[in-house]
Amino acid sequence: MIIITSGQKYSDIDIVASALAYKNLCDLQGIPAKAVLPGPLNESVTKSVSGLLPKYETELTIDSKDCEFILVDISDPKHFANFVNEEKIVKLYDHRFWGKELYWKEKLGNNAVIESVGACATLIWEEFIKTGVEQKIDKNCANLIYMDIVIHTLNLQSLVATERDKNALNCLKPLVSLPRDFAETYYSQVNESFMKDPEKAMRNDTKIQEINSKEYGIIQVELWDSRKFIEDHENPIIDILKSLNTPNTFLTSPSIAEGYNYVVTTNDNVKKLLEKSIGVKFDGNIGRTPKLLLRKEIIKILIDYTSQTPL
């Protein structure tokens, strides 16, 4: 039995779109498979997304010895679902480079599909193309992949968006049934969910990242229009940043409708780093980027910059 899974901590829109679409791909090929996602759904899986989800399991109910595993949107073993037997992994997909690429290439060869695209779901869609069953894809899975690619690339405005992501959207367009304003609706639902408990949501989307031997705490808040949230919550944001147990902290909030990020930090060294490496312009503790950037893009820019210009 093939088990399609990902991480233990949470399941986001890219994980559910990738895993459930791959389960559909297996079904179309007559391959026995289950999607098992133990990580709870996070804020990225809104009402409009959850309404599209085919059934899946949250616990592995068969002996892992009888399973082979396909992992999506993950490559770091530290974060794998607890039931995954690393020796039984037969295929792995990820669209981010976390330093495990060579390890998996040596272990799995061409079955380690770790490639630089905007969304893992793009890689899964390409598997439908390769096997020639793209016209038979389940409608909900097609909608999920399409939504995920749009959301994960900030409507193709992010630097992580590639021609492969654009091609996937073009191919999927005749197969999906989504309203034209689905992205705005999606982010309004994200905003609604987020505002129920902004502190919890921010803490749930905090990444601790080592950059040039220094630890950074980086919170990300993706909203359709971030301006009001940032203006109204500057002090609570600063309080949360101060509680992260590391002096180098900042919040980044892509404001999709405005086409740039807001950045919040009280650390003068962090401000200088963001000004020099990214071009953030600060007014007090609040700054603005020249363009939309995802946190993973910011991290890569900071790593590249500090490797050439040590702090």
Whole-angstrom distance, CA of residue 164 vs CA of residue 167: 5
Cβ atoms of residues 223 and 187 within 8 Å: yes
**What was the pLDDT predicted at 4?**
98
CATH number of the domain where residue 277 is located: 3.10.310.20
User: Per residue in 149-203, pLDDT tens?
Assistant: 999 898 888 888 999 999 999 999 999 999 988 988 898 898 888 888 999 889 8
**What was the pLDDT predicted at 34?**
97
CATH number of the domain where residue 75 is located: 3.90.1640.10
Cβ atoms of residues 138 and 24 within 8 Å: yes
- Residues 153, 31, single domain; the answer is yes
Domain boundary, last residue among 159, 185, 211: 185
DSSP secondary structure of 220-247: E--BS--HHHHHHSHHHHHHHHHTTSSS
**What was the pLDDT predicted at 94?**
95
User: Per residue in 273-311, pLDDT tens?
Assistant: 999 999 999 999 999 999 999 898 899 899 999 988 765
Q: Which domain holds residue 275?
A: 198-308
**What was the pLDDT predicted at 163?**
96
Is residue 191 a part of any domain in this protein?
Answer: no
**What was the pLDDT predicted at 97?**
72
Is residue 62 a part of any domain in this protein?
Answer: yes
Mean pLDDT across 15-26: 98
**What was the pLDDT predicted at 71?**
98
Whole-angstrom distance, CA of residue 276 vs CA of residue 115: 29
**What was the pLDDT predicted at 311?**
57
Is residue 138 a part of any domain in this protein?
Answer: yes
pLDDT higher at 138 or 157:
138
What's the length of the chain? 311
Tell the residue number behind the tokens 């080592």, with chain if given: 210
